[in-house]
Amino acid sequence: MADHNASQEGEVIKSEMNVNVESGKQHYSDGEDLAHNPDVPDYNAQYGVKSAEAMTLSWSRTSLIVVYMSMWLLYFSNAFEASLSTNLSPYVSSAFNDHSLVTVINVVSQVLTGVTYMPVAKILNLWDRSVGFTIMLTIAVIGMILMASTNSFELYAASNCLYSIGFTGMTFCVDVVTADTSTMRNRGLAFAFTSSPYIITAFGGPKAAETIYADNWRWGFGAWAIVLPVVGAPMITMMVLGKRKAEKNGLAPRQDSGRTWYASVLHYFIEFDDQWNSPSIIAMIIIGFFLLVCFGFWERFGARVPFVPWSLLTDRSVIGACMLDFVYQIAYYCWYNYFSSYLQVVYNQSLAGAGYIGSIYDVVSGVELLIVGALISYTGHYKWVLMWGVPMYILGVGLMIYFRQPGNGIGYIIMCQIFIALGGGVITIGEQVALMASAEHNDVAALLALLGLFGYIGGAIGGTVSGGIWTNVLPGQLRQRLPASKADQWEDILNSLDVQLSYPVGDPTRTAISDAYAATNKYMLIAGVCIMSLGLVCMAIIKDRNVKHIVQTKGLLF
């Protein structure tokens, strides 16, 4: 971890600067630029960034370790619940006779989650990291309670969207805090560490899902309404204590804004103008990606306080990273939403077995990221990660097209999943590092939000492609392949995974269902490979910067 001398007394620091409040921003009348002074926060930055820098300048090594352990524990909890939710989702949908609508839930939740990223980033910058995290935690808990008590598919879908917003928002807050508390050189390694719990939950989640489903699937959601607040409390506590210590040291003094209540309301509307008055939000809600260009024009010509500086919106690394994540998420969700059902029907895997295979990505990429993060720290470069990851991912999905047939062994599917994990995992860390290496600390949260927006909108589009293929291909395949005695039952078979699995392996009906699945999956995988080929172009756009030479954060850091 990078040690930094943060022992200066607050009164000495305050004596060096003369702070004037003007239009809601702080400037220095003596002309001194303290943005690059390693001993004080950048008081020209937004409050959330300034507060984060004050915290890292004030805390001890023990505090840093506790924060990272808290973030690791939170990731562990979220990863475990995500594994439970993913594996239970097909059965919950089948309980309401709507198995085919699994992808609808994912599409809607991804769109809503993607749109939420940018307001959350603004909250983190305007107010405080702990405030944004607490709000997202509360939303996630409410979603879990509703999911556990739902009695209809519609309510389950709505509560799942609420949970997804909170869950992803918490993860985003943790990622921003990780960026706040790490050097640019070690940023990739820090992200790899906080996300490493997926290596463990990949084994525990599927088995837990199988056990819970055999008892009562509602406990898979209800229990986490209790667990999440307990796990999130240490994170909130450490951030609040860190802020108070910084205030005590004079690094983050409490100051009157000098505004009336009316001026304060106007101030926050101006700060959020790219959210509430910008056409970007309306565009994302109504027709999604195709009007995102309006957001760019607003940022350039209309916003009084830009969400992201125009120079970053036109930076080739930012464009390349966002477009790569957009393409990658489309390609991934073209086939992933029905992958668990596919494994259970075609390869006769149990719920736990299908979960283990689906979790290969988490295990392999989790271990790989720790190695890659260390290599980025050692070499200072990150583009080589993408040059390895994108082709490897395309290879893995391409091989799945050939090995998807029921006659091939499950070992080939596992091999393909390993290739996909080796490629896909490093794509994510490469995008994040490339994006953050292009910006100042003040803009990191906004850029991570922009990346998340592109990713979730891409995932929604991929899910739409997947759902379109499923609903247009599988019914015809079933009608064509089912034995005559079962031909009139094709709709019941289509809408329930339990009904599909009720036919034993070798039964003509089960064979027909398996063949129909394989034929449908072929089109999903082909769509994924074709779309991901565009990732090669996006990868080429990204500029390779040496992160060893980038100083972005201050204080005692990872």
Q: Which among 138, 162, 168, 167 has a CA at the least distance from the CA of 149?
A: 162
Residue carrying the six token digits 């008081």 = 43
Q: Which among 58, 75, 56 has a CA at the least distance from the CA of 9?
A: 58
pLDDT band at residue 480 under the 50/70/90 scheme: very high
pLDDT band at residue 129 under the 50/70/90 scheme: confident
Q: What is the pLDDT of residues 138-194, one digit of tens each?
A: 999 998 898 888 888 788 888 888 888 998 889 999 999 998 888 888 888 898 999
Using a 10 angstrom Cβ sphere, with 0-12 exposed, 13-18 middle and 19 or more buried, the burial of residue 331 is buried
pLDDT value at 536 more than 80 = yes
Q: Which among 18, 17, 59 has a CA at the least distance from the CA of 37?
A: 17
Helix (H, G, I), strand (E, B) or coil at 557: strand
| Residue 347 near residue 333 (C-beta atoms within 8 A) | no
Average pLDDT score over the chain: 80
DSSP summary character for residue 548: G
- The whole-angstrom separation of Cα 279 and Cα 268 is 18
Spell out the domain ranges in the chain: 61-256+308-547
Encoded tokens for 380? 């200072």
- The whole-angstrom separation of Cα 165 and Cα 126 is 20
DSSP summary character for residue 181: T
pLDDT value at 394 more than 50 = yes
- The whole-angstrom separation of Cα 283 and Cα 187 is 33
- The whole-angstrom separation of Cα 317 and Cα 141 is 36
- The whole-angstrom separation of Cα 472 and Cα 108 is 19
Helix (H, G, I), strand (E, B) or coil at 185: coil
CA-CA-CA-CA torsion for 115, 68, 86, 146, nearest 10 degrees? -70
Which one is predicted more confidently, 298 or 60? 60
pLDDT band at residue 289 under the 50/70/90 scheme: low
DSSP summary character for residue 289: G
Name the CATH code of domain 61-256+308-547 (choices 3.40.50.300, 1.20.1250.20, 3.40.50.720, 3.90.1010.10): 1.20.1250.20
- The whole-angstrom separation of Cα 499 and Cα 15 is 75
Helix (H, G, I), strand (E, B) or coil at 195: coil
The predicted structure's pLDDT at residue 392: 95
Q: What is the pLDDT of residues 202-244, one digit of tens each?
A: 777 777 777 777 777 788 788 888 988 999 998 899 888 888 8
The predicted structure's pLDDT at residue 445: 85
User: Which helix (H) or strand (E) covers residue 267, if one does?
Assistant: helix 261-271
The predicted structure's pLDDT at residue 91: 75
Question: What mean pLDDT do residues 393-407 have?
Answer: 90
Question: What mean pLDDT do residues 58-71 have?
Answer: 89
- The whole-angstrom separation of Cα 403 and Cα 409 is 8
DSSP summary character for residue 504: P
| Residue 465 near residue 330 (C-beta atoms within 8 A) | yes
pLDDT value at 265 more than 80 = no
The predicted structure's pLDDT at residue 205: 76
